[in-house]
Structure 1
Amino acid sequence: MGSHRRLVPTSGFNRGAGTALCVLSAATAALGAVPAHAAPHTDTKAEVDRLYEEAEKATQAYDKADETAATLRREVGQAQDGIARQQQRINTMRDALGSLAGAQYRSGGIDPTVALLFSDDPADYLDKASTLDRISAHQAGRLRELRSALRELAQERAEAAGKLAELQKSRTAVAAHKKTVERKLAKARQLLNSLPFGQRAAYDRASRSGGGGIPDLSGVVPPDARVAAAIAAARSALGRPYVWGATGPSGFDCSGLMQWSYAHAGVHLPRTSQEQRFAGRQVPLSQAQPGDLVVYRSDASHVAMYVGNGQVIHAPYPGAPVRYDRVNMMPVSSVTRV
């Protein structure tokens, strides 16, 4: 983050896979506590800040691409099921028409028009209006039904092929954004590992603790039961680790925590902080109520939940567990009432 962060003591810190990023934004807050003789490393603070912000932007892009891929996977599955059902329908229709042909053969031979039922393109036969008077109305009706089914099947196959192509593009985007996040984090880790042990230790401590204390929210009353449920869910996640790309319950990124918390209130939020920004009515920060989503930075790359008394709950950054922070911990771009 930036030096404006006021870190709060939490428990249950987990040094799991997400801790590869543990110093990304912690560096900013920690440097504020480094003695004056460490001033030559102030450029480290700025660089780690920049890497953290870029990693968080890439995380939100990853979240969106991953969500799109999941949606497309469901749609492709549904399309394939539809194709299978349509093919079965066509097979049943062909079987029925085959029975008709067999009956004609047993009664003295197959009418040439019926033989055309089993061509690769029976629709071509129907398009020749001059021959329609050679088959019965019943036969013509079945042929038309088969032609319609074949056309529907061709359209469904084309749509499925398009969705498969979209899915491949989305998978490529997911992989690209993942590489971007990992590259930013690896660069930040390399930079911080080059610092003296004492300063690295300060970064690590700052990612887990601070002097803010647990805020007094005893007088805060949520505006309704739905918001109360969302806040209760967010508070139950306190201390769980930040894991980029995660939506809980064992770990979260910033927008994943908001989505998970409001799901407990029966409300579906979009996946990314940029989309959550428009998931309700925007209000001034001065009118913020418990349960409002507070979106940060001009690019809306971070989001938190306002809980009252100038405090928010959020998943800050890798290495820092879900916790309370002051609402003005960084520049606020908007406040959304869900």
Structure 2
Amino acid sequence: MAAHRKPSRRSLGGNTARTAFTIALAGAATATAFDGTGHAEPKLTPAQVKAKVDKLYQEAETATEKYDGAKEKADAAEKRLSALRDQAARKTDKLNSARDALGSMAAAQYRAGGIDPAVQLALSDDPDRYLDGAEFVDRAGTRQAAAVADVRRQLLDIERLRGAARVELTALKSRQAELRRQKKTITGKLAAARRLLDTLPAEERSRIGADGGTRASRSGSDVRVGLDAPGSATAQAPDSRAAAAVSYAYSKLGSPYVWGATGPGAFDCSGLVQAAYRSAGLSLPRTTYAQIDAGHRVSRSELLPGDLVFFYSGISHVGIYIGNGRMIHAPNPSEPVKIAPVDEMPFAGATRVV
């Protein structure tokens, strides 16, 4: 019989080993291609970077307006909470005084023996004199009952104040949590925008108007080169307050954009509007959402200097109209307060604050 032998194993050597290695590499490359890793991101053009950065800035500004609104409500809740606590403290001091007086009255009664008036009358050597005294005791008892009722009323009042303070504290904590969420969103969007801008050379950043550090450091007069002086804009304003607001906005050209800022050295968009009208003696709400309802609406064709112009469907940006289709606004962290055409962003409406 022929001997049956198992086929011998051949070691991978020479060309065989190289072939196996090549196949393995090819398989790895194929797998990499399918799972989407190992490929460098396509390099964005400056225009694409600008488009992405503009979108991030718009999203950050939307979050900024929400932050500003939450901060306004948090500040109001904090004031109310402080007022309630002060009121409760004053009432507690008054309550303590009432309790001390009630305690003194009770101690005096205890020292007098607290004997029933009918018994005291029966034992008295001078009934007429005792009856006069009993009338006094009765009046004193009435005063004591009134004092006890007053203490109870004050206790209930203080408990009501403490309950209201607890409600305000809960509201404040909720607003503070909202502030933290919006702040995280804002800083994340701004950081993403900065990373995108950092992929561009300095000259490209300058060309697309994103060299924020350089532009924001320029003086107001540099930003106004070639543009009208405020005189013509203020002359066309509908009233003195609008004229004063326009004048203030002109004086802040070149100031840096800082989210949440209301001046005097830095602003976000609604912060600039609020500060401009505050300088004119008029108090406006803090956010774009509220500012658009701070006056009466006007159409784009009716715009006059001092009118507030709003942008985007979410009403997330605002500027101060200065005439000739232009406005002064605080754009974003890459640019300072500047003059810009109204039609550079999607127009959402306008309000005249008069």
Alignment of 1:3-152 (within 5 A): 40-109=45-114, 136-152=141-157
Q: Secondary structure at the match of 2:343?
A: coil
Deviation at 1:282, TM superposition (A): 0.4
Q: Distance in 2 between matches of 1:211 and 1:255?
A: 21
Higher-helix-fraction structure? 2
Deviation at 1:213, TM superposition (A): 3.1
TM-score of the pair, normalised by structure 1: 0.76
Q: Percent identity?
A: 44
Q: Secondary structure at the match of 1:136?
A: helix
Contact 2:50 2:208 in 1 (8 A): no
Structure 1 position 195 matched with structure 2 position 200: yes
Structure 1 position 261 matched with structure 2 position 276: yes
**For residues 130-184 of structure 1, what are the alpha-carbon distances to aligned partners after superposition, in whole Å with 9 as ceiling and x for unaligned?**
xxx9x93222212221111111111111110111111111111111111111111
Deviation at 1:335, TM superposition (A): 0.5
Of 283, 294, 298, 1:283 maps to 298
**For residues 311-334 of structure 1, what are the alpha-carbon distances to aligned partners after superposition, in whole Å with 9 as ceiling and x for unaligned?**
211111113111211222212111
Q: Distance in 2 between matches of 1:53 and 1:110?
A: 83
Mark the runs of 5 or more structure 1 residues left unpaired by the alignment. Answer: 1-37, 112-132
**For residues 87-112 of structure 1, what are the alpha-carbon distances to aligned partners after superposition, in whole Å with 9 as ceiling and x for unaligned?**
1111011011112112212322499x
Q: How many residues align?
A: 280
If asked which structure has higher relative contact order (CA below 8 Å, sep 6+), I would say 1
Structure 1 position 165 matched with structure 2 position 187: no
Mark the runs of 5 or more structure 2 residues left unpaired by the alignment. Answer: 1-42, 117-137, 216-221
**Partner letter of residue 237 of structure 1?**
K
Which residue matches 1:119? none
Q: What is the RMSD computed on CA atoms of the aligned residues?
A: 2.5
**For residues 33-66 of structure 1, what are the alpha-carbon distances to aligned partners after superposition, in whole Å with 9 as ceiling and x for unaligned?**
xxxxx98454323321211111111111111111
Q: Distance in 2 between matches of 1:90 and 1:66?
A: 35
Deviation at 1:197, TM superposition (A): 4.7
**Partner letter of residue 292 of structure 1?**
D
**Partner letter of residue 48 of structure 2?**
D
Contact 1:101 1:110 in 2 (8 A): no
Which residue matches 1:214? 227
TM-score of the pair, normalised by structure 2: 0.73
Q: Distance in 2 between matches of 1:108 and 1:48?
A: 87
Which residue matches 2:310? 295
Would the alpha carbon gap of residues 247 and 200 (structure 1) be closer, same or farther in structure 2, given more than 3 Å must change? same
Would the alpha carbon gap of residues 42 and 223 (structure 1) be closer, same or farther in structure 2, given more than 3 Å must change? closer
Deviation at 1:215, TM superposition (A): 3.0
**Partner letter of residue 228 of structure 2?**
P
Contact 2:209 2:335 in 1 (8 A): no
**For residues 264-315 of structure 1, what are the alpha-carbon distances to aligned partners after superposition, in whole Å with 9 as ceiling and x for unaligned?**
1111111111110111100101001111110111111000011222221111
